[in-house]
Copies of this chain bind each other. A is one copy, B any other.
Amino acid sequence: MAEANALNAETPPELVELRHSIDNIDAAMLHLLAERFKCTRKVGELKARLGIAPADPEREAHQIARLRSLAVTADLAPEFAEKFLGFLVREVIRHHELIRDGGLDVGRPAGAGESA
């Protein structure tokens, strides 16, 4: 706390308040990401078991269209929503490929090194 107070002493109160909100939002997103990776890990295991390809362009196109549409109502740029999904999908595909190739230790936390 001493360190935080020293930092705050030089930081405008308005900035401190905004950063607190950003930190709260980040914590919420982090926990949602953990849940998302639990889902995508199950998807990866299911795909490996059924011999379904890790990448699915049709599914991705559907996700992109949906998120771009949601972005408009959320007052977020559709381009950024698509970029964000791309960031997540790249991680997930890499994870699915690792599961398929038997290179993933599924006992590790979601997103560990290989991500998910």
Contact = CB atoms under 8 A, between A and B. Distances in A.
A50 B58 CA distance: 47
B70 A43 contact: no
A33 interface: yes
A30 B74 CA distance: 8
Interface in A26-44: 26-40, 42-43
A43 B80 CA distance: 19
Interface residues on A, range: 35 or more
A67 interface: yes
A21 B39 CA distance: 7
Nearest to A112: B77
6 contacts: A18-B40, A30-B76, A33-B76, A34-B74, A75-B110, A79-B115
